[in-house]
Amino acid sequence: MVTLNQNQRYFFSSSFLIFNFLTLIAKPISSFSLQGFNGDQNPNFNSDFTLLGDAQIANEGNFVNLTSPSSGPTSSGQIVYKKPFKFVDSKSSKPIISFSSDFTFTITPGNGDGIAFVIFPGGGEDELSQVFDRGYFGVSDNIDRKFVAVEYDTRKDDNVGDLNGNHVGVDVGSFVSSDNTDVSSIGLLLNGGVPLKSWIDYEASSKRLEIRLGESESERPIQPLISFPIDLSKMWGDKEILVGISSSSVDSRQVSSLSSWSFRVRSIPRSLHSEPLNPEEAHLGEQQPIQRKKSSFLTVLGALIFATGCGTLVAFVALFVWVVLFGRHSNVVPELPMTPMDFKYEKVNVTVDNAFDDSTN
């Protein structure tokens, strides 16, 4: 298990709060949540998703088996969300899209490739045959090199420089991973036959891809397994993008199954952009609907609340440090210095008037 020192824990805790704050104020524009994989459980499943290759619904719709041992020594399959989205606004050329995804999967023992979450350019079903086949993780060698994949790899392949047979990696245009981490470092085994859950988040404002992994019933980890800097808006521009989960098993009877999948695309508020607003949009600002003004007010209010909370926390920590360092010392009344003092004496002459005595005689 990885252990963190105090400074690292503070860093990841702060990053986690900021990351989730940005997620909360972002506006959702598209989302789905699959807890079942047939038309009875999800009426829009057949219209919004497609199964490719050897992928098939199993256990009365509770699973999608992406690979199948009965298909021969080599098996591959995919599930793809057919609704495309864009990372860049075509009019302003600004990055507008962030996304979050989580899914629960099971990989049986064996040395197959495992599974991969794949983001790739494409606008229709006809192009999917050019993206997926029986290559690495079921992805074609002829795919446009502008793809990004998060791989959950259970086979060490020296041809692509794999770390070992139990790692998570980020692949950018190639299955030679740009970043990877040994899953054994968090005490997990990818192909142990037990359900695991992964969280993948991309925040457009910070241009960072974060991957987390845990057991299926565990809480979302604070510390990401991988935090990878990448600007997806520059990679694809205003092209339409699709997402899918793919798997392949070469010379193995390994089966990869998916039991849930959630995906949320959201736009980031313009107030988070570092670039100035479009002057034409600013000129038309007075004509915008009242609803947009309310949204801006809520965004500012949320930022003020967050800043106030941070300030209160800093003040509390400062007070705590002061008490620890100085509060334990008792107060002692200082002694006044004893210095001699001079007193001045003066002689006083008293004169008695005898006139009164003479008059009485």
Give the pLDDT confidence of 102-125 residue by residue, as tens digits.
999 999 998 789 999 999 987 666
For residue 164, what are the CA distances in angstroms to 17, 158, 354?
33, 9, 127
Q: Please classify residue 2 by burial: count the beta carbons closer than 10 Å to its beta carbon, then call 0-12 exposed, 13-18 middle and 19+ buried.
A: exposed
332 versus 89: the higher-pLDDT residue is 89
Query: Where residue 21 falls among pLDDT bands split at 50, 70, 90?
Result: very low
Which of the four pLDDT bands, split at 50, 70 and 90, describes residue 66? very high
Do residues 182 and 164 make contact, with C-beta atoms less than 8 angstroms apart? yes
- Count CB-CB contacts under 10 A for residue 74: 14
Identify the top-confidence range among 43-52, 257-266, 282-291. 257-266
pLDDT at 299 over 50: yes
> Can you list the domains of the chain with their CATH numbers?
26-278 (2.60.120.200)
pLDDT digit string, tens, across residues 225-242: 999 999 998 988 888 899
pLDDT computed for residue 324 by the predictor: 64
What DSSP string runs through 243-289? EEEEEEEESS---EEEEEEEEEEEEPPGGG-SSPPPHHHHHTGGGS-
pLDDT at 290 over 50: no
pLDDT at position 84 over 60: yes
Q: What is the pLDDT of residue 277?
A: 35
Confidence of residue 328 (pLDDT cuts 50, 70, 90): low
Q: Is the pLDDT of residue 19 over 70?
A: no
- Amino acid in position 31: S
pLDDT of residue 360: 47
Predicted confidence at residue 72, as pLDDT, reads: 72
Over 70: is that where the pLDDT of 346 sits?
A: no
